A and B are shown apart, each in its own frame.
Chain A
């Protein structure tokens, strides 16, 4: 079945970086956009950006530009999200989610299905 499995919880100090992985299975990894979303404690969900696993192209939410980098390794069907210069308010559960199918004239806009199980990142001194 189509599945996304994320890496385990992380604890980081302010100013450090964190890299979360998302391993895809059950479908053609390069055929669908991959999105990253986060949810801070007691807050709603926040979209961070997407990566096109086929081309490596990315689009980041304005809030995270300059601090987030999304990459992929097609040989192991894995997407990565790295967030740098961490602050305490980056403490959140981070999710990957498969987006729209990649087509020549298509758009990255689309629903998410499935989602990863989430990775808790705690930023604390």
Chain B
């Protein structure tokens, strides 16, 4: 089973900031990493597929990087609407596994 270690668990940012969220896999998963945004009571939104590809319709201030075991979600020029829970998902092998999530607060 691939364990995903996501950090930080919580972070606070100011509009205009740049933030990085990390997800480290316990084994090589190539580029089979995905990132999601979720707001309370809403369905999760797909934002980055296969480590680096921005999902159509997602603002370009979101980006993803990494390969193998180390992955990063970057949000540039943060906006208040980016306050949410972010999590990573690996689809390299079963069982599919998730990071523990990051709660992003905007001051």
Contact = CB atoms under 8 A, between A and B. Distances in A.
Interface of A: 4, 35, 37, 44-47, 59, 61-62, 95, 97, 108-118
B100 A44 contact: yes
B69 interface: no
B89 A116 contact: no
Contacts, number: 56
A122 B94 CA distance: 27
Given A110-B91, A111-B89, A114-B43, 5 more contacts: A4-B43, A44-B99, A44-B100, A109-B91, A111-B91
Contacts of B34: 111-112
A112 B46 contact: yes
B46 A114 contact: yes
Given A61-B95, A109-B94, A111-B34, A117 B41 contact: yes
Interface string B74-96: 00000000000001010111111
Interface residues of B, number: 24
Contacts of A4: 43
Secondary structure dominating the interface of B: loop
Q: Which 8 A-B pairs have the closest CB atoms?
A: A45-B98, A113-B46, A44-B100, A47-B96, A115-B44, A115-B43, A111-B34, A117-B43
A78 to B, nearest CB: 17
A4 B46 CA distance: 14
A62 B95 contact: yes
B65 interface: no
B7 interface: no
B49 A111 contact: yes
Contact of B89 (A108, A112, A118): A112
A123 to B, nearest CB: 21
B104 interface: no
A112 B35 CA distance: 10
A6 B27 CA distance: 34
